[in-house]
């Protein structure tokens, strides 16, 4: 699922395809829950508009248009935003992938999962939004209009100050992993980068958020930003559907420390990576590098009983 780094890589690559160009036509798929603005309204209102900037808030992309309206794009679980001419097997339906002869170039042509096609007045390459599972969102905001989804976002994880996290963990009785996934605390953190950041910070994912000391919060935020910045450098994490807008895979999956590495040795200490469920989400951690998963945090776990790791609460 695309998280902040994948959305930021998308923003950086899509900006040159969008900014300064005037939409000639907008072709959509049929109405569905993906369209928070009805598709016929997008087709009517987007032509003639020029994009002035492409911004990001958490996992949302916001194209600022010349009439001060904003096109909001959320990639959801399987959303793909890419330029005409991009090629990747990830842009093909599974049946088309299976039928592809070896060594064939997987050229893309719009299919039934392509929900928005923007064509431009300059006649240059178009821009496509494709989403197989349709958990993504498209929304056109009138000038000055906002939306509850944007209103409830906390500060962006990449630029938040430590004081923000310190203030937001205070008194919170839930596992720090679950807190990190809450978009109103920090916008943009999802399952992969929460696990990676907690490992980097040496904090057990089941620690009670409210028990974290101020230095631990600061260390955690530094870790969140470090793993995200590194992922952006490598083009993000490609597992199933995510591709960079030019069709390349992201490279961060090969560098991950804990995510989806259950049973494999920790790259820091060699201990086998373990997996738990916290707040319904699969959570990966090193029991040696990340001590302190104590007390009631463990009561949230679903699945086979596991003993609480030994060791006191660090830094408090
Ligand atoms: Zn370790």
User: Tell me, what's the pLDDT at 92?
Assistant: 87
Q: What residues contact residue 116 under an 8 Å CB cut-off, 6+ apart?
A: 26, 27, 28, 29, 42, 128, 129, 138
| CA 199–ligand 1 middle distance (angstroms) | 8
| CA 272–ligand 1 middle distance (angstroms) | 8
59 carries an active-site annotation: yes
Whole-angstrom distance, CA of residue 5 vs CA of residue 11: 10
Name the catalytic one among 50, 230, 267, 281.
281
User: Tell me, what's the pLDDT at 212?
Assistant: 97
Question: Is the pLDDT assigned to residue 188 strictly greater than 60?
Answer: yes
Question: Is the pLDDT assigned to residue 306 strictly greater than 50?
Answer: no
Mean pLDDT of 284-311: 59
What pLDDT digit, counting tens, does each position of 141-180 carry?
999 999 999 999 999 999 999 999 999 999 999 999 999 9
| CA 258–ligand 1 middle distance (angstroms) | 9
Name the catalytic one among 45, 59, 70, 219.
59
What pLDDT digit, counting tens, does each position of 233-243 carry?
999 999 888 99
Secondary structure of the chain as H, E, C letters: CCCHHHHHHHHHHHHHHHECCEEEEEEECCCCCCECCCHHHHHHHCCCCEEEEEEEECCEEEEEECCCCEEEEECCCCEEEEECCCCCHHHCCHHHHHHCCCCCCCCCCCCCCEEEEEEECCCCCCEEEEECCCCCEEEEECCCCCCHHHHCCCCECCCCCHHHHHHHHCCCCCEHHHHHHCCCCCECCCHHHHHHHHHHHCCCCCCEHHHCCHHHHHHHHHHHHHHHHHHHHHCCCCCCCCCCCCCCCCCHHHHCCCCCCCCCECCCCCCECEEEEECCEEEEECCCCCCCCCHHHHHHCCCCCCCCCCCCCCCC
- % of the chain beyond a pLDDT of 70: 92
| CA 202–ligand 1 middle distance (angstroms) | 9
Question: Is the pLDDT assigned to residue 94 strictly greater than 80?
Answer: no
- 45 confidence band (pLDDT: 50, 70, 90): very high
Mean pLDDT of 122-135: 97
Handedness of CA 30, 82, 253, 182 (dihedral sign): negative
3 carries an active-site annotation: yes
User: Tell me, what's the pLDDT at 104?
Assistant: 73
Between residues 95 and 130, which one has the greater pLDDT? 130
| CA 245–ligand 1 middle distance (angstroms) | 34
Name the catalytic one among 3, 6, 196, 274.
3
User: Tell me, what's the pLDDT at 293?
Assistant: 61
| CA 44–ligand 1 middle distance (angstroms) | 55
| CA 269–ligand 1 middle distance (angstroms) | 4
pLDDT, averaged across the chain: 91
pTM: 0.90
């Amino acid at each position: 699922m695309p998280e902040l780094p994948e959305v930021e890589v998308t923003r950086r690559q899509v900006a040159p395809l969008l900014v300064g160009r005037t939409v000639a036509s907008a072709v959509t798929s049929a109405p569905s829950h993906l369209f928070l603005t009805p598709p016929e309204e997008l087709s009517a209102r987007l032509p003639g508009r020029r994009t002035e900037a492409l911004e990001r808030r958490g996992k949302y992309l916001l194209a600022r248009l010349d009439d001060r309206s904003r096109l909001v794009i959320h990639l959801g679980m399987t959303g793909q935003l890419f330029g005409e001419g991009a090629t990747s097997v990830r842009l093909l339906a599974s049946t088309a992938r299976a039928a592809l002869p070896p060594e064939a170039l997987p050229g893309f042509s719009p299919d039934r999962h392509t929900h928005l096609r923007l064509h431009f007045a300059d006649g240059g390459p178009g821009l496509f939004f494709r989403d197989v599972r349709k958990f993504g969102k498209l929304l056109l905001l009138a000038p000055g209009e906002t939306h509850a989804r944007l209103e409830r976002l906390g500060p962006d994880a990449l630029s938040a100050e430590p004081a923000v996290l310190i203030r937001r963990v205070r008194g919170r009785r839930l596992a720090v992993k679950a807190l990190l996934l809450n978009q109103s605390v920090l916008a943009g953190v999802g399952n992969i980068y929460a696990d990676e950041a907690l490992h980097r910070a040496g904090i057990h994912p089941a620690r009670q958020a409210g028990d974290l000391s101020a230095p631990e919060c600061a260390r955690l935020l530094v870790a969140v930003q470090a793993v995200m910045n590194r992922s952006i450098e490598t083009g993000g994490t490609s597992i199933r559907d995510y591709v960079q807008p030019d069709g390349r895979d992201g490279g961060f999956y090969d560098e991950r420390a804990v995510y989806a590495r259950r049973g494999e040795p920790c790259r820091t200490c060699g201990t086998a990576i373990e997996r738990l469920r916290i707040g319904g989400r699969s959570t990966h951690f090193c029991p040696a590098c990340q001590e302190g998963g104590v007390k009631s945090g463990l009561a949230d776990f679903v699945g086979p009983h596991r003993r609480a790791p030994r060791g006191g609460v660090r830094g408090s």
